[in-house]
Amino acid sequence: MFKQLIDKAIYLKIVSSENREIYEYGITNLSYSLLVWSIFLLSAFLFGFFPSALFFLLTHIPLRIYAGGLHFSTRIRCFIASLFIFVVVLFFPLAFSSFKLCKAINPFIILGLIIILFFAPVEDPRKPLEISESLHHRKISRILGINYVILYFIFYLFSFFHGAYFIGTGILLVALQLLTGKILSLIKL
């Protein structure tokens, strides 16, 4: 299906044929991401967490894009890992109160921010960043990280614990992916 779409775009001279692989890769990744996000949001809707789950995605996706971190070698591994992470993120508020979850992650939020400030961006060896891109990603990930931590504590102070939990989890997952990606990149050197 994507191949036909790209063939049509090349035929209409919307994209050049030299960039075919890039467009195939991008469209395939986007479709996997949309599928995972849709499953997550549908599950969140069914459990009554839809607005809070949106906070998670609005925190996690931009921060993950700019901060980088752990990448799996195949799309299917990434798909399965993403679904697993999202199931875990949704499970905890069902099993425990959001207030208790926030109290448990409070000390780790600042640690997560420190990891983001010091390690972002961790690049994927298959897609290295140029120096200017790396500096841009570092700046944006720092701005996002600081703003999300501030938003987390505002939500916490105003007792919107569901929203705080999902924002905090987005921050912590990116920090964990950054740390894991950094450690694996050092091991491979």
Structure tokens at 57: 């995605």
3-state secondary structure of 123: coil
CB-based contact 40:90 (threshold 8 Å): yes
Tell me what pLDDT residue 147 has. Answer: 97
pLDDT at position 125: 67
Residue 159 φ/ψ region, left for φ over 0, alpha for ψ in the -120 to 50 degree band, beta for the rest: left
Task: Note the helical H segments in the chain.
Answer: 2-11, 20-47, 50-67, 75-95, 98-119, 131-157, 161-188
Name 122's Cβ contacts closer than 8 Å, sequence gap at least 6.
Answer: 67, 68, 69, 70, 178, 181, 182, 185
Task: List the chain domain ranges.
Answer: 2-188
Task: Answer whether 70's CB lies under 8 Å from 177's CB.
Answer: yes
> What is the pLDDT at residue 79?
79
Q: What is the pLDDT of residue 94?
A: 80
This prediction has a pTM of 0.82
Report which DSSP code applies to 12.
T
pLDDT digits (tens, 9 = 90+) for 169-189: 999 999 998 998 888 878 875
Cβ 178 vs Cβ 116: under 8 Å: yes
Contact present, 51 and 161 (Cβ < 8 Å): no
Q: What contacts 65, CB < 8 A, 6 or more positions away?
A: none
Rounded to the nearest 10 degrees, how much is the dihedral formed by the CA atoms of 27, 28, 33, 36? 140
pLDDT of residue 47: 87
Task: Give the per-residue pLDDT at 69.
Answer: 75
Q: What integer pLDDT is reported at residue 109 of this predicted model? A: 95
Flag residues of the chain having pLDDT under 50. none
Q: What pLDDT is attached to residue 23?
A: 78
Give the pLDDT of residue 1.
65
How many C-beta neighbours within 10 Å does residue 132 have?
8
pLDDT at res. 183: 86
